[in-house]
Structure 1
Amino acid sequence: MNNALLVIDYSYDFAAPDGKLTAGEAAQAIEAAIVDRIREAHEARQPIFFMMDLHFEQDDLHPESKLFPPHNIEGTEGRALYGKVHDVYGEIKDEQNVFFIDKRRYSAFAGTPLNQLLQERKVDTVTLTGLVTDICIMHTAVDAYNNGYGIVVPASCVASFNPAGHESALDHFKNALGATIEP
């Protein structure tokens, strides 16, 4: 198995108590587990992709503008990686196996070079971490499945605003996408 770690949308706006679209305590509770996964992947020299939601001021044409309040606006603190994930990224960001990629849709694959970068590195399995389980993690998982990747989702590394949606997504990953759900 040739694995890559994806850290999806673990931003200030999604995780901080005062974030613009925060998943609150559930998002903060996964911080240490994500940091551990980043460190493990780094030590194993696996590719690590920090995939970050990107919006602009007056982004009225983006479909999310009708569903959610403005969040992850370019040039704001809200787009920064949150907490210790920010710190560990700062330690490793200049290494060849570490990538920070902006994304404009829920899926980390939509409109990004992610699939090509994974193929170039002969990755066959992606480990999905971050926020939120039943939106961006879900859409990324479906695209990973449709692109032929094995999927691992550590339940301790994903969270949502919606506990029922979180549980439903984990069930979907396992039973509809064949994902391995780890503790």
Structure 2
Amino acid sequence: MARTALIVIDMLNSYEHPDAEALVPSVREALPGIGMLLKRAEASQAPVIYVNDNFGRWRSHHGEILQGALEGRYRDLVEPIKPDENALFVVKARHSIFYETPLAYLLGRLEVRHVVLCGQVTEQCVLYSALDAHIRHYEVTVAVDGVAHIDGELAQAALRMMERNMSARLTTSHAIAFGDGTT
């Protein structure tokens, strides 16, 4: 059976960007699902990997990114899902979690073949990450109640594309188990 990892995409965010006001309500809706996934992954000792944009700050590291998000206007969106001491962290600069990052190498070292995606933004980073995972032959699950969007219609289209074109399994956080590598 494939080992499963939880990938938390771009949730360490200060929300100081033009789309923030459209995104924030959806993030609030996704937080309980993401929280549930984090608890389940931790209980099963599944790898939890935060892959986060560096927001163009090329000298930053995960601690600075987290601190900036916690000091932002929407600390309440970051605090409940901030990484614990066991979480792994990969910095990205573009939409996909794989593009020019060491994530594929890390997943290989962890013997992961199945990724559960949650985070933001469904119609952008989550979509491109699911595609890149699919073309690398990973099994992909997307927690539909653990992803946030800017545009609801585009998000629904993106989810349909992930399911249809990338063989992603779409399900809720309640239906995802990490212990035996299956969902």
TM-score band, normalised by shorter chain: 0.7 to 0.9
Tell me: higher relative CO, structure 1 or 2? Use CA pairs within 8 A at least 6 residues apart: 2
Alpha-carbon distance change, 74 to 40 in structure 1, aligned in 2, over 3 angstroms: closer
Q: Is the 8 A contact 2:12 2:82 kept in 1?
A: no
Q: How far did 1:89 drift?
A: 3.3
Query: What's the C-alpha RMSD, in Å, of the aligned pairs?
Result: 2.4
Structure 2: gaps of 5 or more residues = 59-63, 173-183
Q: Alignment partner of 2:36: what SS?
A: helix
Q: Comparing 20-29 with 102-111, which one deviates more in the overlay?
A: 20-29
Q: How far did 1:120 drift?
A: 1.0
Report what 2:61 is aligned to: none
Report what 1:46 is aligned to: 46
Q: Deviations over 1:110-136 (max 9, x none)?
A: 111110110111111100000000100
Q: Deviations over 1:94-147 (max 9, x none)?
A: x2xx21211101001111111011011111110000000010001110110011
- Does residue 104 of structure 2 align to residue 122 of structure 1? no
Report what 2:146 is aligned to: 157
Report what 2:155 is aligned to: 166
- Does residue 9 of structure 2 align to residue 8 of structure 1? yes
Matches within 5 A, 1:1-183: 1-14=2-15, 19-20=16-17, 21-22=19-20, 23-56=23-56, 77-78=68-69, 83=76, 85-90=78-83, 92-93=84-85, 95=86, 98-183=87-172
Q: Comparing 122-131 with 77-86, which one deviates more in the overlay?
A: 77-86
After TM superposition, the score normalised by the length of structure 1 is 0.79
Q: Is the 8 A contact 2:69 2:78 kept in 1?
A: no
Q: Alignment partner of 2:112: what SS?
A: coil
Identity %: 23
Structure 1: gaps of 5 or more residues = 60-72
Report what 1:63 is aligned to: none
Q: How far did 1:86 drift?
A: 3.4
Q: How far did 1:79 drift?
A: 7.6
Aligned mates of 1:170, 1:148 — CA distance in 2 = 18
Aligned mates of 1:79, 1:51 — CA distance in 2 = 17
Q: Is the 8 A contact 1:55 1:104 kept in 2?
A: yes
**Paired amino acid for 2:42:** H
Aligned pairs, number: 161
Q: Is the 8 A contact 2:4 2:113 kept in 1?
A: yes
Q: Is the 8 A contact 2:27 2:77 kept in 1?
A: no
Q: Deviations over 1:50-101 (max 9, x none)?
A: 11111236x9xxxxxxxxxxxxx969734879536534535x22x2xx2121
